[in-house]
Amino acid sequence: TLCPSPAVLELCVLLFPGLVCPLEVSVSSGSIQVARGQTAVLPCTFTTNAALTNLNVIWMVIPLSNANQPQQVILYQGGQIFGGAPQFYGRVGFAVTMPTTSASIFINNTQLSDTGTYQCLVNNLPDRGVRNIGVIGLTVLVPPSAPLCRIQGSLDVGSDITLTCSSEEGIPRPTYLWEKLDNVPKLPPTATQDQVQGTVTLRNISTVSSGLYQCVASNAIGTSTCLLDLQVIAPHPRSIGLIAGAVATGAVVLVVCIVLVAVALFYWKNKHKEEEEEEIPNEIR
């Protein structure tokens, strides 16, 4: 916000001694970002030609998490400083000794809940405020928390699997990068990776796919990793022998059954033929 210079205000009083000059508030930045746990300084200055004996400064916040519930942060009135909402107790103060034309405040040990839109409201009678409110946004940044790595799908040879990775915390939202630590290139050519969702799909896995995989979660202020040991399950040689043996046994049994059926049919046909031959002479007699 543009404000009249002190020289202009002084000229205003000299030329028009009975006129009340305007009070104007200025903030040097429209938004501030700070890492969680660090100190944030919210700048706010104002110009006035009146004495600061009637100075009133109030800071309010509209929390991002609850925009319908504005909260008082800190108040300077009648030469005294008063606290605001309980969440700010012991963490908020004016950056310089009051009263002064700097109404900047600090917030120590910033928390995620401190993110929001802050308003610096200044009154100093008899000056009247034309633009007596300064607005500044505060965003508390959080590095990615340790991500959780998981496997979705069967680990048998020939299967398709998906490796997933996600952090519970992270502002701005983290991106994720998967890589195989003992392999060049870092992932198989057929792998499909989604860095926003934190997934990578491995198709038609084999024993070569086995190894140590790492997921790196990162944002503007930090990184965090998790490791996943992938072991593809290959068919056991003994299992292959058992399967082959079972197939061979089944084939033998099938052959035996065919032979027995053939013998039974041959026996039945011969017996039936003998009975027919015996019946023919009897009919002649």
Q: Regarding the domain delimited by 148-230, which CATH topology (the fold level of the hierarchy) does it fall under? A: Immunoglobulin-like (2.60.40)
Interior CA angle at 33 toward 28 and 39, to 5°? Answer: 90
Question: What element of type H or E holds 171?
Answer: none
Q: What is the DSSP string of 22-42?
A: EEEEE-S-SEEEEETTS-EEE
Which residue type is seen at 49?
Answer: N
Q: Quick check: do 6-141 and 148-230 share a fold?
A: yes
CA distances from 111 to 39, 80, 119, 138, 142 (A): 10, 26, 18, 11, 9
Cβ-based neighbours of 47, under 8 Å, separated by 6 or more: 3, 4, 5, 6, 9, 23, 24, 26, 101
Q: What pLDDT shows up at residue 107?
A: 98
Residue 229 CA to chain centroid, in angstroms?
23
Taking residue 13's Cβ as centre, other Cβ atoms within 10 Å add up to 14
Q: Which long-range contacts (CB under 8 A, 24 or more apart) does 80-86 make?
A: 84/59
CB hemisphere CA count around 164 (13 angstroms) = 8
Domain 6-141: state its class: mainly beta
Residue with tokens 């084939």: 251
State both tokens at 23.
Answer: 């009070």
For the chain, the domains span: 6-141, 148-230
Q: What are phi and psi of 274, to 5 degrees?
A: -60, -40
Q: Are 43 and 28 in contact (CB under 8 A)?
A: yes
Digit-by-digit pLDDT tens for the chain (285 residues) are 333 444 444 444 444 444 556 899 999 888 999 999 999 999 999 999 999 999 999 999 999 988 899 999 999 999 999 999 999 999 999 999 999 999 999 999 999 999 999 999 999 999 887 789 999 999 999 999 999 999 999 999 999 999 999 999 999 999 999 999 987 778 888 899 999 999 999 999 999 999 999 999 999 999 999 999 999 998 876 544 555 455 556 666 676 668 677 666 767 666 666 555 555 554 444
Instruction: Please give the model's pTM, rounded to 2 decimal places.
Output: 0.69
- Decide the pairing of beta strands 80-83 and 31-35: unpaired
3 state SS for 77-97: ECCEEEECCHHHCCCEEECCC
Q: Are 120 and 32 in contact (CB under 8 A)?
A: no
- Decide the pairing of beta strands 128-131 and 22-26: parallel
